[in-house]
Amino acid sequence: MTVQTEASSAVRGISVLLFSDDRAVRDAVRMGVGRRPAEGVAVESWHECATADGVMLALQEEEFDVLVLDGEAQPYGGLGVCRQIKNEIHDCPPIMVLIGRPGDGWLAAWSQADAVVSRPLRPAELAEGIAGLVRP
């Protein structure tokens, strides 16, 4: 018999900012992550942005627990936006970037991303990436 204490059964609700100029990518990320990416982690809200300017404005107006940025977005990709955020925003939330190919990992390192998921997007990798960024 397993007994759960109040602390072990607590669920951390998170807010996620999702940036991609492609609605299909945004939909795939939301569906892949789902409402409960891991035990003890629940996505309470998504804030979607289709432009880099929208991301920067949202970061000025709200606080987020995690950012997901599409490295393939046009005309400004999520890798450059990630680097800008890491260099301009004090105490920024953790950032996961979506890259086009596993070989683009060096670009993710340059961008200072905290987590990387490469295409094709797989639900398990997306969920684990988000959960890994918010676990203590």
Task: Encode pLDDT of 23-75 as tens digits.
Answer: 999 999 999 999 999 999 999 999 999 999 999 999 999 999 999 999 999 99
Strands annotated E in 30-119:
41-49, 66-70, 95-99, 115-118
**How confident is the model over 88-100, as a mean pLDDT?**
96
Asked if the structure places residue 5 within a domain, the reply is no
Query: Where residue 3 falls among pLDDT bands split at 50, 70, 90?
Result: very low
Whether residue 4 lies inside any domain: the answer is no
Q: pLDDT averaged over the chain?
A: 93
Within-domain flag for 2: no
Pairing of strands 66-70, 115-118: unpaired
What pLDDT was estimated at residue 8?
A: 53
pLDDT of residue 33: 98
Give the residue numbers spanning the domain of 129. Answer: 12-134
Domain membership of residue 1 (yes or no) is: no
CATH of the domain at 43: 3.40.50.2300
CA 117, CA 119: separation in Å to the nearest integer? 7
| Number of domains making up the chain | 1
The pTM assigned to this predicted structure is: 0.92
- Any domain includes 68: yes
96 located within any domain: yes
